[in-house]
Amino acid sequence: MYEDKTLACRDCGSEFIFTAGEQEFYAERGFLNEPQRCKPCRDARKAAAKAEREMFTTTCDSCNGVAVVPFQPQNDRPVYCSECFAKLKEQRDAPSDERAVMGDLL
């Protein structure tokens, strides 16, 4: 039988309980490793991973239209809608900071 186990979270260092039920759940699915993080840290990582895949809606720096981008828009660099982005992509002499944005989008 399984017994509750106290583990230390590798992210925040706090102790958390790896319950008997969870151990059984892990064993049933063939997970060999014990959880490395407490529930709040696991949830935070899941949320972060999900946020990375989310699309962000912002204002196009070029035409002021709606721009949807796969990253959190930063105030320190321009973001373009797909139309303006396509136009800019054709411009070989784009300034380097615009190239950096394109690199992120490609």
Instruction: Name which of residues 52 to 81 contact Zn ion (CB under 5 A).
Output: 60, 62-63, 65, 81
Residue 6 pairs in a beta bridge with: 17
CB of 83 to Zn ion, least distance (A): 5
Phi-psi label, residue 45: left if phi above 0, alpha if psi -120 to 50, beta otherwise: alpha
CB of 1 to Zn ion, least distance (A): 27
Size of the site for Zn ion (CB under 5 A): 11
Would you mind telling me the total number of residues written for the chain in this entry? 106
Place of tokens 């136009």: 87
Residues that bind Zn ion (CB under 5 A): 9, 11-12, 38, 41, 60, 62-63, 65, 81, 84
